[in-house]
Amino acid sequence: MQLALGNKLSISWLSNDRVEVRASSYVGSVDLSPGLRVRVVPKLAGGNLGVLTMLAITNGCSLNDLPEYFRGLSDDSTEDAVQLLCRLVVTHTEVLVARGLIRDYRGHSDDLPFLRGRLDTYRQATVYFGKFTALACSFDEFDHDNIENHLLLAGVLMARRVSTDAHVRRRAAQLADRLNQIAPTLPSNSKLLATRIVYGRRTEPYRVAHTWCRSLLDLARVNDTADADLRVETFLIEMNLLFERFVEWLIEQVTAGTGVEMQTQKRNASLITVNGESRRSIAPDLVLRRGERQCAVDSKYKRYDIRTISNEDIYQLLLYAQCYTGFSHAPTSYLIFPAANNKLAESTVELSVPGERSARRVRINAAGIPLASIVDGLRRGDSGEIDKTLVALRGVLSEAISSESDAWVSMDA
């Protein structure tokens, strides 16, 4: 029997109760049966705590507050990211409940024997026409039944469901009972994840707990297989997407104050056509722009520090360099990937096109960042590694962020 969870994981049941598992770039856990759980452990990100650190940063956590996100959490290597998430959700929700949950106004409608708030004339006329047994009222309630507390409730319910730690499940159940009493109108998880919460003076204490609740809810997926009796619960993090978002945050720090505009997933007017029919547009992860000049930056969660860049990625990045010609005499694109070493690993790939006078060159500048060291330092409140990496990346992107390249362009013109 074989089970393919999209492009996340491939599982084959072999003879003699053996299981063959083929993982991709997803990390986390898959519950195949009550007695069989598959764990995919991250390596390049510095373990599960490193993955959670990346989740917190890409969800808007400031570096000064990051140690607070992991308060009370030990470095237990036996727990996967999902179990750590459950514990973080419960711990930070308990802190909020202990200090007091916020209340807010919400619109409410009810049929009462007396007038409260405003009379809903439409409902009164259609439901109680000619009757005076009840009044259709619309009014505002000031209570805890709001989106901020709903997100906490959904988070602890999910933690109670998926945690394998009996103590964590018991704490989550107690929190769920408490929250359900004061915030009973819980919307769907999809609506909760789609609702944007603006944090201010009253709601700022919720930010940490909400980050972990959203992360856990976003990971919760139920996949139905062809066998109706077999339900597989997957809690997997797509490292390609997470690393892409982390690189976006890094480049934002690098370009801050340089006058360079950064755009994500910007589609180029250039199109690939086949027999005159458009197939797809060009959309690199990041585009850096200053004036009329721009370059493409792409991120790949691959071990290019120990093996050469694949032909497929080389072709893609050379195409980006042609569409976003960069800031130097040779069209250049940039590749960021994770490296195991504690320093930036740089390499250059060039395409030489012979010409009548001289060869025309197209270049790829690749840089491997020490991802595990960066996120470990950030989680502990040590900015040494991230500072060194930002300095090194500024060197890699010097042509893009330095005003001297504009002078070179104008003199060449």
Instruction: Give pLDDT tens digits for 280-316.
Output: 677 889 999 988 888 999 999 998 988 899 999 999 9
Indicate the length of the chain as a whole number: 413
Please identify, among 213, 239, 265, the residue that sits at the C-terminal boundary of a domain.
239
Residue 346: band (very low, low, confident or very high) from pLDDT cuts 50, 70, 90: confident
- Confidence check: pLDDT of 123 > 90: no
Please identify, among 143, 164, 193, the residue that sits at the C-terminal boundary of a domain.
143
DSSP-based three-state secondary structure for 338: strand
- Confidence check: pLDDT of 364 > 50: yes
Say if residues 324 and 296 touch (Cβ distance below 8 Å). yes
Phi/psi of residue 195, nearest 5 degrees? -85, 125
Q: Tokens in use for 337?
A: 């990937």
Share of the chain residues as helix, strand and coil, in percent rounded to the nearest 5: 40, 25, 35
Residue 219 resides in a domain: yes
How many domains does one find in the chain? 3
Question: Is there a single domain that holds both residue 138 and residue 78?
Answer: no
Residue 215 has what pLDDT? 85
User: 123 is in which domain, residue-wise?
Assistant: 104-143
Residue 217 resides in a domain: yes
Say if residues 91 and 72 touch (Cβ distance below 8 Å). yes
Say if residues 400 and 254 touch (Cβ distance below 8 Å). no
Question: Is there a single domain that holds both residue 59 and residue 135?
Answer: no
Mean pLDDT of the chain: 82
DSSP-based three-state secondary structure for 87: helix
The average pLDDT across 203-207 equals 90
Residue 349 resides in a domain: yes
Residue 251 resides in a domain: no
Residue 230 resides in a domain: yes
The single-letter code of the amino acid at 242 is: L
Q: Which of 1-10, 363-372, 396-405 has the highest mean pLDDT?
A: 363-372
Residue 252 resides in a domain: no
Question: Is there a single domain that holds both residue 320 and residue 381?
Answer: yes
Question: Is there a single domain that holds both residue 323 and residue 290?
Answer: yes
Q: Please give the model's pTM, rounded to 2 decimal places.
A: 0.76
Say if residues 190 and 217 touch (Cβ distance below 8 Å). no
Residue 246 resides in a domain: no
Question: Is there a single domain that holds both residue 200 and residue 343?
Answer: no
Residue 412: band (very low, low, confident or very high) from pLDDT cuts 50, 70, 90: very low
CA distance 136 to 140: 14
DSSP-based three-state secondary structure for 39: strand
Residue 20 resides in a domain: yes
Residue 232 has what pLDDT? 54
Question: Is there a single domain that holds both residue 108 and residue 97?
Answer: no
Question: Is there a single domain that holds both residue 203 and residue 85?
Answer: yes
